[in-house]
Amino acid sequence: METNRRAKRFANPPETAERNASITADISKILPSFLRSAEKTPADCWYNFSTMGSRLSRREFLKLCAAAGLAGLAFRPFSGFEEDNQKNDLIRITVRSVSVYSQPDDKSRILFQRFRDELVNIYYELESESGPAYNPIWYRVWGGYIHRANTQRVTVQYNPVASQIREGRQLAEVTVPYSQAMRYTSISGWQPLYRLYFESVHWVTGIDEGPDGEAWYRILDELLKIEYHAPAYHLRLIPDEELTPISPEVPHHKKRIVVSRGRQTLTCYENDEIVFQTRVSTGLNYKPEGQIPWETPKGEFNIYSKMPSKHMGDGRLSGNPEDYELPGVPWTCFFEQTGVAFHGTYWHQDFGTPRSHGCVNMRTSEAKWLFRWVLPVSEPGDMERVGYGTRVVVE
């Protein structure tokens, strides 16, 4: 259970920072190479660890932007001391805009806005008595407070570039707040396409020279069957051992998943023993005219398809981050024939309340655990694994 009034300090007191920090900083100073932070298990997630079995090159970020002439590849400046930024205590704004409040209370005065894909330095996080009760976490930032709902915790990690990609394809995850993908055509040359966000997962099929003359990974979009590129050092190739199945010896009928729409929880059982439990976000109670209702359907189902990387959205070629395109949705497990699935989420941290178009949104690390735990077993290199899988109950 989460502890009331919990506060975790990350950096210098905000009063000191606000007197001295410059709102804009040279991007070459505020984006040094970082060590990846150890993953923290959220307070509202519980694992039975008895059932469970988990670098770094320094690159000059602006070199890529300068060589390619692509200002869009640079992260926007954010407030805070340089020494604070090096702790990787960052959030990315995931919607068009969020408000910065004078207090950790959405009824307090709004001071200003932060906008999509801006990076914001965190001084500390706290639980607010003003709630909301299901998600009371707020971040102390320069100038005020931001509720965590429409943000993503991110780090900046640059990766060694592989000398080759194994035959076929290999999974990779984005390890920077976002990476601007580019697509080359003989008519238009290099053009910006999607932004690939932190913890999204993609199929890498090769290594090519990018628009800056450096190594870029060639990425296959499983939905549109097209290829585009992203800077190789922005992606970490996922080793096969990270995808080892969890408790594969447990018989098929002894595993089950129970999703509670009322409590917004997901619980995994083995032999009627709870091995994992967490908060999730199910579908909104909304019925668009002429379309499938968004509310996650109740009933009993089985996992029937597993895809470690799934492009969701309208399926358009678009360089506009406001469009409804979600490439690389990680660790997707479909259980209902209209396309309802469990999957990782890189566009909000608002678990505990309905948020989706029908799917069960999960924290990405937890969705990865579930992907490895459920049947059918997926092999490395499987773009999709189809089969009669683990039982799912939605109540």
Going by C-alpha positions, the residue among 132, 162, 166, 168 that lies closest to residue 149 is 132
Backbone φ, ψ for residue 159 (5° rounding):
-120, 150
Pick the CATH number of 243-394 from 2.40.440.10, 2.60.200.30, 2.130.10.10, 3.30.360.10: 2.40.440.10
Examine the pLDDT at 283 and tell me if it is beyond 90.
yes
User: Tokens 């683990």, residue?
Assistant: 390
The dihedral through the CA atoms of 87, 92, 93, 94 has a sign that is negative
How far is 292 from 286, CA to CA, in rounded Å?
A: 9
Average pLDDT of the chain is: 83
For the segment 264-272, the average pLDDT, to the nearest whole number, is: 97
Of the candidates 379, 101, 393, which has an alpha carbon nearest to the alpha carbon of residue 267? 393
Q: Is the pLDDT of residue 63 over 60?
A: no
Please determine, looking at this structure, whether the domain spanning 174-241 carries the CATH number 2.30.30: yes
pLDDT of residue 290: 87
pLDDT band for 58, please (50, 70, 90 cuts): very low
Q: What local confidence, expressed as pLDDT, does residue 88 receive? A: 73
Q: What is the pLDDT of residues 150-166, one digit of tens each?
A: 999 999 999 999 999 99
In angstroms, the CA 394 to CA 371 distance is 18
Q: Determine the Cα–Cα distance for residues 35 and 355; give it in Å rounded to an integer.
A: 32
Predicted pLDDT of residue 87: 52
pLDDT at 262: 96
Residue among 240, 239, 235, 173 nearest 200 (CA): 173
The yes-or-no verdict on residue 55 having pLDDT over 80 is no
For CA atoms 243, 246, 250, 253, the dihedral sign is negative
CATH number of 7-53+55-154: 2.30.30.40
pLDDT digits (tens, 9 = 90+) for 174-214: 999 999 999 999 999 999 999 999 999 999 999 999 999 99
Q: Quick one: pLDDT band at residue 45, thresholds 50, 70, 90?
A: low
What are the residue ranges spanned by the domains of the chain? Answer: 7-53+55-154, 174-241, 243-394
351 pLDDT more than 90: yes
Whole-angstrom distance, CA of residue 30 vs CA of residue 331: 32
Residue 243's pLDDT is 96
Q: Is the pLDDT of residue 50 over 60?
A: no
Q: Which pLDDT score is estimated for 76?
A: 33
Contact (CB, 8 A) for 77 and 30:
yes
pLDDT at 79: 29
User: Do 7-53+55-154 and 174-241 fold alike per CATH?
Assistant: yes
Give the DSSP letter string of 161-176: PPS---SS-EEEEE-S
pLDDT of residue 189: 96
